A and B are shown apart, each in its own frame.
Chain A
Amino acid sequence: MRRLIACLLAPAFIVFPALAAEKITTFTLDNGLEAVVLEDHRAPVVVHMLWYKAGAADEAPGVSGVAHFLEHLLFKATEEMEAGEFSAVVEANGGSDNAFTSYDYTAYHQRIAADRLELMMKMEADRMRNIQLTEEDIVTERKVILEERAQRTDSDPGALFSEQRNAAQYLNHPYGIPVIGWRHEMEQLSREDALAFYEKYYAPNAAVLIVAGDVDPDEVKALAETYYGPLEPTVDLPERERPAEPPQLAERRIIFEDPQVAQPYVIRSYTAPERDAGDQETAAALTILAELLGGSGRTSVLGRALQVDSNKAVYTSAFYSGVNYDDTTFGMFMVPAPGLSLQEAEDEMDAVVAQFMQDGIDGAHLERVKSQIRASLIYAQDDVASLGREYGAALTSGLTVQDVQDWPAILDAVTEDDIMNAARMVLGREKAVTGWFRKPLEQEVSQ
């Protein structure tokens, strides 16, 4: 089908980095820049990515959105280049470029013919330390990010609901603040705010270089030394310690109503541990738990019980993403069939999970999930750019290259007991935010 309801939320797909060891090379420059090179010589293409260990969760209080704002501003002028010239040069060389900001990282990337790698490095190194911002850049680009917020958040009740749920999930940790920023703070972002973030975090000792494609690792290293090597590190770069969450003492519930809600649903997200360096076992168990509970509408625990065996749900899913610097969430949601209220839907979802906790795991189901894990090691070789993104996200979220390489084997070793223990640890309503998303009640005639 053209589009399933899956676009409500990012699904719990498991991505498994894997590449024969001889095709991965790592090195670290004297100024602290870490680098990973992934080889694939099938096509004369390279993806060059620079990841900063700085994202929205590293912002100072009161300037929400500045990490993302700065990402936009990095396409303006530097000492060497005019505003807009970076992308123009990439395009003139047949490449494409983009950037993205998350809670734990900001990344810039180009996809281009492999023989243009040097030019990309030269330009990326230039804008790591040398941007030149005018007041006019600030005013115009601030309008652009406000339009971006209007397009992607303010015009979309589902996105606003998600923002509210996040805020409820984290009372004290900055994961509760939207990456794009709160509108009232975005409107006030200044050149000084952007430069303060830039000068602190845009430095080789806070960056990870990923090069994936038709390249020779020795040449990549030589180029990196030439262009990134001379850059000065930030000497007093602080440890990344964000304000921690207090213990959650009460269940949190949110009802979000908007006349433009077409499809009501109930969603629950539990605070859960993330993948930690050298300690990924619990996260592995949770990754597989999400797959078993809600990975497929037809074979998962929620899907079978609520979509196939009964027609109580239009759609169900479970999700977990372990690549996070600090605590993450494990969640599940249900889109009820017409006629079922959100309270009834929530009760049904709870009942299915309670039954699962009693019955335990279907061994054949677990075996199928593991065969998909093993197969993904093969499929992943077809797309080293995705693999590069995995490394970039992991290395900026507190993990090491070794952790990334160990991950498939750790997943494969997960037992039924591991999964049930992880489930018992995480799935408590007192540690969760439960959200209802619906039209204002008087309009909800069909319910």
Chain B
Amino acid sequence: MIRVVLTTCFALIALPAAAIDIKEVTSPGGIKAWLVEEHSIPFTALEIRFKGGASLDREDKRGAAHLMSGLLDEGAGELDSTEFASAAEALALKYGFDASSDSFSVSAQFLTENRDASVDLLRKAINEPRFDQPAVDRVRGQVLSIIASEEEDPNDIASKTFAALAYGDHPYATKLEGTAESVTALTREDLIQSHQDLLTRDRVFVGAVGDITAEELGVILDELLGNLPETGPDLPGPAPFLLDGGETIVPYDTPQSVAIFGHEGIERDDPDFFAAYVMNQVLGSGGFGSRLMDEVREKRGLTYGVYSYLVLREHVNLVMGQVSSSNDSVAEAISVIRGEWAKMADEGVTAEELERAKTYLTGAYPLRFDGNARIANILAAMQFDDLPIGYIDSRNDQVEAVTQDDIKSVAKRLLKPENLHFVVVGQPTGLDASN
């Protein structure tokens, strides 16, 4: 591969130039969803997202949401784990449950011909998970294996170290998978509690796309979600950001160092948000036109990939980046990155760079809407981020409105090379740990 496609936690929504017809649906029981009807293929994609996720893990119960997410289909209603999996196979029902740091999501795709039985199976998983002890222990074993693997993975070590140094006592400070100790201590009751805490009606956002009408969707919403608890515990407050500029080195025996870096960022609803977004496109989007890729990879061959990105999470916003480079060249890579950070803060972007970034961002915008599951995902995310249904029409205009001056001022305000903290995992030469 010429490059790795970076998946970030960045949640900016792109929408199609060709208008798609989003309907807001309210079920008889009062649950809202956004729907795009698409009857040309006989299946439906459904995306259900609950705000909160692993940030609602209770004290000393880190990893509960993650383990719970692995157990909803491991026995539900009258079906044991194998019976549930067999039923899903027979229906060709595709589904997944995922706990992330700020949300819990249910993704499903089902055939029109099997819709009722598929929804019934999903209803059981969402509402009546059994948490049978053998299944809990079996899935716990898988999670412990994942945790052990992450402890030997330089990327995981880097992100874990960064989070631990940055976020103090906030849930963000630890990995949502939990530690071997915390996961080993989780009980069946903890999982039942997590299920009650996370899957609540007041925090749910639904996107549906496919071969289904508004009326049919309304019935399904009530069936799937109508009997969940009305509300759950409070979300945690804002996360602190405790890192100053400098470097932290985590010694690890590997030929190539992994570095992640960052400092504080910008709110999604800040008036300068789009300027920051376009600015980052030029700085470190990862395309070959981006400055970091150009300077670190194309001109110097110091890395296979280098990126920067805006991190927008529920309780913190950062500008972050990552790079991998051999132990004897990572110091140079870091120095080049700091230099680009400073240059952007001082000078902003050229007229040509701005134009190129805009044509890319506005042109790429309709391309994300190809596929029912992708669109369902975006519909849920838009609601999750509190964007209006009409955001579609204004998004590209907001990109187009960004000027060179806007970027210069937001870059000056946002990018602080002296505040940039690098966590480096490996055996780098020529770097002095300042921390």
- Residues in chain A within 8 A of chain B (CB atoms): 1-5, 40, 42-45, 71-72, 75, 83-84, 87-88, 91-96, 98-101, 111-113, 139-148, 150-152, 154-155, 157, 213, 259-263, 296, 298-299, 304, 307-308, 311, 314-315, 335, 337-338, 364, 367-369, 371-372, 374-376, 378-379, 381-383, 385
Contact of B85 (CB < 8 Å), options: A91, A144, A296:
A296
Contact A75 B288 (CB under 8 A): yes
Contact A155 B94 (CB under 8 A): no
- Interface set, chain B 160-180, CB cutoff 8 A to A: 176-177
Q: Chain A residue with minimal CB distance to B209?
A: A382
Task: Collect the chain A residues with CB atoms within 8 Å of residue B45's CB.
Answer: 382
Q: Chain A residue with minimal CB distance to B425?
A: A155
15 A–B contacts, CB within 8 A, in A order: A1-B99, A1-B139, A1-B146, A44-B18, A75-B2, A88-B289, A94-B363, A150-B255, A150-B256, A296-B89, A299-B82, A299-B86, A311-B134, A315-B145, A368-B90
Q: Chain B residue with minimal CB distance to A8?
A: B149
Contact of A335 (CB < 8 Å), options: B18, B145, B258, B326:
B145
Task: Collect the chain A residues with CB atoms within 8 Å of residue B367's CB.
Answer: 43, 45, 94-96, 111-113
- Residues in chain B within 8 A of chain A (CB atoms): 1-3, 5, 16-18, 38, 40-43, 45, 66-67, 69-70, 74, 81-82, 84-86, 89-92, 94, 97-100, 109, 111, 134, 137-139, 141-143, 145-146, 148-154, 176-177, 253-256, 258, 287-289, 294, 297-305, 324-326, 356, 359-367, 369-373
A431–chain B nearest beta-carbon distance, Å: 30
Task: Supply 6 further A-B pairs (C-beta < 8 A) apart from A88-B289, A296-B89, A378-B111.
Answer: A1-B66, A44-B17, A44-B18, A113-B367, A263-B145, A308-B138
Contact A311 B1 (CB under 8 A): no
Contact B142 A143 (CB under 8 A): no
Task: Collect the chain B residues with CB atoms within 8 Å of residue A141's CB.
Answer: 301
Task: Collect the chain A residues with CB atoms within 8 Å of residue B325's CB.
Answer: 147
A146–chain B nearest beta-carbon distance, Å: 8
Given A1-B98, A299-B85: A92 and B301 interface contact (C-beta under 8 Å): no
**CA of A224 to CA of B86, assembled, Å:** 47
**CA of A96 to CA of B6, assembled, Å:** 12
Task: Collect the chain A residues with CB atoms within 8 Å of residue B41's CB.
Answer: 378, 381-382
A385–chain B nearest beta-carbon distance, Å: 8
**CA of A4 to CA of B359, assembled, Å:** 38
**CA of A31 to CA of B94, assembled, Å:** 44
Contact A88 B2 (CB under 8 A): no
Given A111-B367, A296-B89: A91 and B301 interface contact (C-beta under 8 Å): no
Contact A144 B304 (CB under 8 A): yes
Task: Collect the chain B residues with CB atoms within 8 Å of residue A95's CB.
Answer: 363-364, 367
Given A151-B324, A368-B89: A96 and B364 interface contact (C-beta under 8 Å): yes
Contact A98 B366 (CB under 8 A): no
Contact B85 A148 (CB under 8 A): no
Contact of A140 (CB < 8 Å), options: B16, B85, B154, B300:
B300
Contact B152 A140 (CB under 8 A): no
Contact of A311 (CB < 8 Å), options: B86, B137, B146, B176:
B137
Contact B89 A299 (CB under 8 A): yes
A86–chain B nearest beta-carbon distance, Å: 8
Q: Chain A residue with minimal CB distance to B281?
A: A91
Task: Collect the chain B residues with CB atoms within 8 Å of residue A144's CB.
Answer: 297, 301, 303-304
Contact A308 B2 (CB under 8 A): no
Contact of B138 (CB < 8 Å), options: A1, A43, A92, A311:
A311
B41–chain A nearest beta-carbon distance, Å: 5
Contact A260 B146 (CB under 8 A): no
Contact A87 B288 (CB under 8 A): yes
Contact of A382 (CB < 8 Å), options: B258, B356, B369, B373:
B373
Contact of B302 (CB < 8 Å), options: A45, A96, A147, A311:
A147
Contact B301 A1 (CB under 8 A): no
**CA of A338 to CA of B42, assembled, Å:** 45
Contact B149 A262 (CB under 8 A): yes
Task: Collect the chain B residues with CB atoms within 8 Å of residue A113's CB.
Answer: 363, 366-367
Contact A140 B146 (CB under 8 A): no
Contact B370 A88 (CB under 8 A): no
Task: Collect the chain A residues with CB atoms within 8 Å of residue B89's CB.
Answer: 296, 299, 368-369, 371-372
Task: Collect the chain B residues with CB atoms within 8 Å of residue A146's CB.
Answer: 326
A267–chain B nearest beta-carbon distance, Å: 15
Q: Chain A residue with minimal CB distance to B305?
A: A151
**CA of A305 to CA of B305, assembled, Å:** 43
In this complex, which of A91, A112, A140, A364 has the most chain B Cβ atoms within 10 angstroms of its Cβ? Answer: A91
Contact A147 B326 (CB under 8 A): yes
Contact A315 B90 (CB under 8 A): no
A256–chain B nearest beta-carbon distance, Å: 14
Task: Collect the chain A residues with CB atoms within 8 Å of residue B154's CB.
Answer: 155
Given A1-B98, A143-B302: A87 and B289 interface contact (C-beta under 8 Å): yes
Q: Chain B residue with minimal CB distance to A84?
A: B288
Q: Chain B residue with minimal CB distance to A313?
A: B141
Contact B138 A307 (CB under 8 A): yes
**CA of A395 to CA of B341, assembled, Å:** 46
Contact B304 A314 (CB under 8 A): no
B127–chain A nearest beta-carbon distance, Å: 20
Contact A337 B141 (CB under 8 A): yes
Task: Collect the chain B residues with CB atoms within 8 Å of residue A381's CB.
Answer: 41
B49–chain A nearest beta-carbon distance, Å: 15
A112–chain B nearest beta-carbon distance, Å: 7
Contact B142 A4 (CB under 8 A): yes
In this complex, which of B16, B97, B356, B360 has the most chain A Cβ atoms within 10 angstroms of its Cβ? Answer: B360
Q: Chain B residue with minimal CB distance to A156?
A: B153
Contact B148 A92 (CB under 8 A): no
Contact of A314 (CB < 8 Å), options: B97, B141, B151, B369:
B141
Contact A155 B254 (CB under 8 A): yes
Task: Collect the chain A residues with CB atoms within 8 Å of residue B99's CB.
Answer: 1-2
Contact of B177 (CB < 8 Å), options: A2, A43, A152, A374:
A2
Task: Collect the chain B residues with CB atoms within 8 Å of residue A3's CB.
Answer: 146
Task: Collect the chain B residues with CB atoms within 8 Å of residue A93's CB.
Answer: 359-360, 363
Contact B289 A94 (CB under 8 A): no
**CA of A374 to CA of B89, assembled, Å:** 12
Contact B300 A262 (CB under 8 A): no
Given A151-B304, A304-B82, A379-B43: A43 and B366 interface contact (C-beta under 8 Å): yes
Task: Collect the chain B residues with CB atoms within 8 Å of residue A260's CB.
Answer: 152, 253-254
Contact of A1 (CB < 8 Å), options: B42, B69, B362:
B69
Task: Collect the chain B residues with CB atoms within 8 Å of residue A368's CB.
Answer: 86, 89-90
A213–chain B nearest beta-carbon distance, Å: 8
Contact A382 B2 (CB under 8 A): no
B350–chain A nearest beta-carbon distance, Å: 14
The list of the 4 closest CB pairs from A to B, nearest first, reads A94-B363, A143-B301, A375-B92, A1-B70
Q: Chain A residue with minimal CB distance to B5?
A: A98
In this complex, which of A71, A75, A155 has the most chain B Cβ atoms within 10 angstroms of its Cβ? Answer: A155
Task: Collect the chain A residues with CB atoms within 8 Å of residue B177's CB.
Answer: 2
**CA of A263 to CA of B141, assembled, Å:** 11
Contact of A42 (CB < 8 Å), options: B152, B301, B370:
B370
**CA of A382 to CA of B373, assembled, Å:** 9
Contact A314 B142 (CB under 8 A): yes
Task: Collect the chain A residues with CB atoms within 8 Å of residue B300's CB.
Answer: 140, 143
